[in-house]
Chains A and B, each alone.
Chain A
């Protein structure tokens, strides 16, 4: 079965610019997660969807970050405007029952 797909793999932008990331979860997985992983740290949950509804977005900086999951399948995460501290790897994961599968991540560098 195909894994979790993410694009782009790498992105370099200047501060105050906008950026969007895309995730396609494993087919049939109802739950989708976006994590931020800063270098040397563990993944930090930004937002969790169950189908197309939000389960938890308590750690999403809503003044600059937004995410949507239309039709309960693909998802996009947007940052507008970006700050230097947003430099990180953004991981998407999907889950079925109690097992989570991760995509390769998007490495964002904000200059």
Chain B
């Protein structure tokens, strides 16, 4: 079945450092890909998405490109801030008649130090 694998954390960076969180997927067909962020005590918030190969999703300085040839959707940010400290989840969606089913990775905790 479909699955998502993301790098284990925690990832600890200094403020203004470059961030990469790796995500690879296994899927039949052509899934959409997502990054969600979860702050302490909150639900998941959609950060960005890409719906087809070579699409780049971007939001709040974060970017990820849908790479079909490497089945990857790595999250990047050029300069992280303390406020980016959170858990990041990679996910894919697969279409089932009438709706979508979502599969999540295990999450990567990011800690940014001032």
A-to-B contact residues, CB < 8 Å? 4, 30-31, 33, 40-45, 48, 50, 55-56, 91, 93, 95, 98-105
| Of A40, A98, A101, A103, the contact of B93 (CB 8 Å cutoff) | A98
- Using C-beta atoms within 8 Å of the partner chain, give the interface range for chain B: 20 to 34
Which applies to chain A's interface (DSSP): helix, strand, loop or mixed?
strand
B94-111 with Cβ < 8 A to chain A: 95-96, 98-102, 104-107
Q: How far is the CA of A33 from the CA of B99 in the complex (A)?
A: 11
* Contact residues in A for B89 (Cβ distance below 8 Å): 42-43
- A–B pairs, 14, beta carbons within 8 Å: A40-B106, A40-B107, A41-B107, A43-B44, A48-B99, A55-B96, A98-B93, A98-B100, A99-B46, A99-B49, A100-B102, A102-B36, A104-B42, A104-B43
Q: How far is the CA of A69 from the CA of B71 in the complex (A)?
A: 36
B23-58 with Cβ < 8 A to chain A: 32, 34, 36, 41-46, 49, 51
